[in-house]
Amino acid sequence: MDRTRISALWKEWRGTLLFLLLMCAFRSSFADIYNVPTGSMKPTVVEGDRVLTEKMAYDLRLPFTPVVLWHRADPQRGDIVVLYSPEDGMRLLKRVVAVPGDVVAMHDETVSIDGVPMQYLGPLQGEGDALPDVSSYEFKQEDLTGHRHAVMFTPGRPALRDFAPVTVPAGQYFVMGDNRDNSKDSRYIGFIPRAAIAGRAFAVGYSLDPTHHYLPRLSRSFQALH
């Protein structure tokens, strides 16, 4: 291909290429959409949800790099975060349960922070409506030091329901899935380094139902996450 042809192609496509580059940079540093492949955050987030993530909620990073340009904030208890597993580097969606300095424990499914058991209240009306086998689960609202959100339990399923008090080290976080009996979280993979947290999930953009030919779940679209 001669230089004239290359120059003509560049003039024709440079606008499109620049747009794609800017879009990739935006998704790298500012906001992204996360396709949820597993049910570890049910009933808050279910398989097929496309979750909107604010990547600069905590840090503004140089596009396409881990370099932090601006440290804005730190994750708080109750935040739903996108993170990279320290075990295998896989991208996960979990809830921050304990922050640096907290003493976290669990006894018979009840989380405690600094020796204070969290409150568990009755479920909200309609909780679990997106699940085909809702009768198999138990739903509650967990009051995580003022942040109330839904959690789900599976009676009879083997799971880690108890662990002794541990202190969250500086620069680390303890995360769990809202699907408490079916989530590979800090109970199994350990504390999450601050640098491994990539952003905060804040809403379901749209949802496709994998059990019904990926038809849209209109009722879940544009729903804020709590």
> 59-61 and 68-71: which strand pairing?
antiparallel
Question: Could you tell me where the DSSP H helices lie in the chain?
Answer: 3-29, 186-189
Answer for the pair 105, 112: CB distance below 8 angstroms, yes or no.
yes
Catalytic one of 40, 183, 186, 207: 40
140 is known as an active-site residue: no
> Active-site residue among 29, 42, 55, 94?
94
Closest to 205 (Cα-Cα) out of 30, 54, 29, 28 = 54
**Cβ 162 vs Cβ 13: under 8 Å:** no
11 in catalytic set: no
As a whole number of angstroms, the distance between CA 163 and CA 93 comes to 22
Question: To which residue do tokens 């009676």 refer?
Answer: 155
Active site members: 40, 94
